[in-house]
Amino acid sequence: MLTPADFLKYTQWLGLATLVFAAIAILGFIFKWGIRFRLVGTTGFMLVVTGGLFALSLAPLSRTVIPGAVRYSLVYDNGATQAVITTPPKITPSELEATLLQAASDLYSYGRLGALTENQLTIRARTILHPEPGISVPLYLGQVKRSLSTREDSQMAIKIYQDKFAQLPKPIS
């Protein structure tokens, strides 16, 4: 995986290439070459790509991986203070805790709207049960509350609803 230092190195090289193309474009105008306007377009495009690489060199692209977390799907996210994920019905409480921590890490964003009011992101985990054909019942298994102002939140409050796990289907052995 590329690091911000790699992106900075690529930005420097592309910045030099952009300057070279700008010089060639200026020469094209001085000598009235037929491709002078294409050179201006190429130089402008290279400026945009250089700016993008520079932006990538400022922010880390790493994703935190929590051991023991299972795959989840984001079902609902209001872009502010509430989100709901769905998990497979055959999940253990320890896997659910790891999955909630993973979702809290994945869904953190400094740009969420709730940072001005509540300053808490609540992520609820649910699964879907099918007690009879044609009937689906959502079953909430737990939730996590995290801060919207700091990425590394050491005060995350995780609640696992142990009584709900009794309603989950038993694995066939």
**Residues 6+ positions from 47 with CB-CB distance below 8 Å:** 18
pTM reported for the whole predicted model: 0.66
**Residue 118 has what pLDDT?**
72
pLDDT at 114: 61
CA distance 173 to 157: 34
Which residue has better confidence, 1 or 65? 65
Range in 18-27, 59-68, 133-142, 145-154 with the lowest mean pLDDT: 59-68
DSSP per position, 59-112:
S-------TTPPP-EEEEE-SSSEEEEE--SS--HHHHHHHHHHHHHHT--TT-
Mean per-residue pLDDT for 87-109?
A: 92
Tell me what the mean pLDDT of segment 113-120 comes to: 70
What does the pLDDT read at residue 155? 87
Interatomic CA distance for residues 6 and 53, integer angstroms: 10
Please report, rounded to a whole number, the percentage of residues in the chain having pLDDT higher than 90. Answer: 62
pLDDT value at residue 111: 75
Q: Where do the structural domains in the chain lie, given as residue ranges?
A: 4-58, 73-165
How many Å apart are CA 88 and CA 131, to the nearest integer?
15
What's the angle, vertex CA 172, arms to CA 167 and CA 173, rounded to 5? 130
